[in-house]
Structure 1
Amino acid sequence: MENKIAVIYKSKYGATKRYAGWIALKLDADLYEVSDIGKKDLKAYDTIIYGGPLYIGKIKGIKFITNNYEYIKEKNVCVFMVGMREFNDEYINFTLENNIPKEITDNIKIFYFRGKMNYQELSLKDKILMTGLRVSISNKKQSDISDDEKMILEVINKPIDYIDKKSIDILLNNVCSNNEEL
């Protein structure tokens, strides 16, 4: 039996779109920007993979999954987040608690991939936020500055790119092993 797969994404600066494209290509899946797919389209798929960037503690576009969960809860559902921080269970769990109801997170698979940031490419609003963060961080004692805060200070002067195509392998392996059950 063929497993039809939809990879759906929301991207802000392109990292999530890159990951979604790689995943769709490897799985021979249909690829959609979240605004291009509706609830009725989901019926055609056995596996739904959603990807969104982390932005100020929120997974952009995740409401697509939460709002349509009743229509996809019997399907194989994966969500991947793209952020700048190093993987940290505590941070990921906190993010999930603030974005997806527990009854949904208990029934979907979650993945985290690292993204990229180029201060020069940011919107004016995001540059203002970054400048405010930089000022706040700069007022701290050097010994009190976390690794994530050091990265924020660093990205102002040079782009940072943590995107790694190999990081999708865990998601691919998980989807492929589930396909054998279908």
Structure 2
Amino acid sequence: MQINLNILTENNHSSLLSKNVPTADNALLQYMQKVTQGTNNADTEDKKQQKLQHIVNKLKHGKKLTAQEMEFLRMNYPDEYQHALRIQKMAEMLENQLKHAKSKQEADSYIAAALNGIPDDDPDKECLVAAFNEISKEFHHSSAYHRLPDTPEEVKKQRKHNGDNGFERKADDDSGSDNSGDLMSWTPLQDIIDAAPTLELKG
């Protein structure tokens, strides 16, 4: 009986742990550590999956991802990142075309060409169509679109438009604010320049 009591003393317990001899307490501690670590890993993975699903939903609704969301994909889901990068790049190409459109007709032709240019077997078709439609909606509600002449013929009657028209798509940060009215801000100086007569040299 005395021997059993001595085994449970502090010194002998520490000695057993140092020799990696399993005891009931040691085994329970190791088990709890594994359970805790497993739970933490599961929680982390679950949060990552939730964030991934949120980003995928944004892409399916044609929303522009933030830099932080793109970085999250790059660090955690490289395959999904490549798809998102392609979608964002193609959306930016259309956006840049619209920024330099000189008439409503020209802008609408860019949108139609982008939509018609997506192959049926494109793995990103759903997200690309959504992105192009969202850009189209934002552009048609912007001041940039409403200030454009209707046709190229009307452009020729007016002063030639140099540079872009100021259309810029904002990344959707889920703040719930509607920035569609601020896609272009014109200055009074720009209005004066637009209204000023131009000198045309005839050869």
Higher share in helix:
2
Fold-level match, TM-score > 0.5? no
Bigger strand share: 1
Per the normalisation by structure 2, the TM-score is 0.23
Specify the structure having the higher radius of gyration (Cα).
2
TM score, norm. by length of structure 1: 0.25
